Amino acid sequence: MAVIDTRILPTAADIEAAAHRIAGAAVRTPLINAPVLDERLGARVFLKAETLQRTGSFKFRGAYNKISAIAPERRAAGVVAYSSGNHAQGVAAAARLMGMRATIVMPADAPLLKRQRTAALGAEIVLYDREREDRAAIAKAIVAERGATLVPPYDDPLIVAGQGTIGREIVEDLAALGLAPDIVVVGASGGGLAAGVALGVKAKVPQAMFYTVEPEGFDDTLRSFKSGRREINPRLSGSICDALMSSTPGELTFPITRELIGQGLVATDDEVKRAVRYAFEELKLVVEPGGAIGLAALLAGKLEVKGRLVVAILSGGNVDADLFAKLIGG
């Protein structure tokens, strides 16, 4: 594993700075407690509804924090990102607010809704085959050609700090109720969300326990925790959780999640489907499969939570209408 310069790792102070930078642009999403879920799990459960964030996912936070920090003299060249959809929309929206051009490299099999909404935000879309082509290489070539700024989906201190504002808000909103989290479950792919939220929470509540949750067959983070090095998934597609299929944990994010989290869970597609349906029927929330994976692990009993205060992050709600209809239809 490459040695990371610890001077570039984001800190709690970076999260504080990000909170001030994104204030007024990002939504301070609600922390929802549902008695029906408490009763089912025998715990006090709070859900951080990033489904209600600008562009429908947590990704806007990191994207805006990164893009708004670009020096004015570099903004004319625009930004470039690669994403299956949620980061794409976050970058496109943030760039639009900053009056900048955005180009997004997206897999050809990305959900139609995510592609349409990214284009509607004014971004140029470059499609690629995720099985045969390297999205990072394509993006870097565009950056080199145009002199643009690359906005990575997770491996960037400003991106991680932006996502870390979620953890900061969780702690503040619970503290206002005289509470603190015992357990936090968070979906993991590249690790930007997990790393940021862990930093944000543990800065104020160091005793809080964290668990990542990944799709079955795409558990590179869990395997990496066990081996101590960044493992690679054998497949690049094949999960209902399209937002959680990065091939390996981030080079920057893994040292953070390994130190602050170090343990994880896995959820099957069927468990995720049941969680999406539960969120709609019982909680009245629209959650995309990848965004429901933490809830899926709790509902499936993957973790003993009785008598504890648990927080799960609903990271996104961008799901095609046809797929959603199938998911909630049983």
For the chain, the distance separating the N- and C-terminal CA atoms, rounded to the nearest angstrom, is 43
Residue 8: per-residue pLDDT: 80
Contact indicator for 98, 67 with CB cutoff of 8 Å: yes
Residue 121: per-residue pLDDT: 95
Based on the number of CB atoms within 10 Å of its own CB, is 202 exposed (0-12), middle (13-18) or buried (19 or more)?
buried
What is 6-58+157-328's CATH number? 3.40.50.1100
- Helix-strand-coil split of the chain, %, nearest 5: 50, 15, 35
Q: Would you kindly state where each structural domain of the chain is located, as residue ranges? A: 6-58+157-328, 60-150
Residue 7: per-residue pLDDT: 54
Cα–Cα nearest to 62, from 173, 192, 172: 192
The answer to whether the predicted template modeling score (pTM) of the entire model surpasses 0.85 is yes
**CATH topology of 6-58+157-328 equal to that of 60-150?**
yes
- Domain made up of 60-150: CATH architecture: 3-Layer(aba) Sandwich (3.40)
Name residues of the chain where pLDDT drops below 50.
1-3
Residue 38: per-residue pLDDT: 98
CA dihedral 255, 261, 262, 265 (to 10 degrees): -130
Q: Residue type at 177?
A: L
Residue 245: per-residue pLDDT: 83
What phi-psi label fits residue 56: left (phi over 0), alpha (psi between -120 and 50 degrees) or beta? left
Q: For the segment 196-216, what is each residue's pLDDT rounded down to a tens digit?
A: 999 999 999 999 999 999 999
Give the Cα separation of 67 and 70 in Å (integer). 5
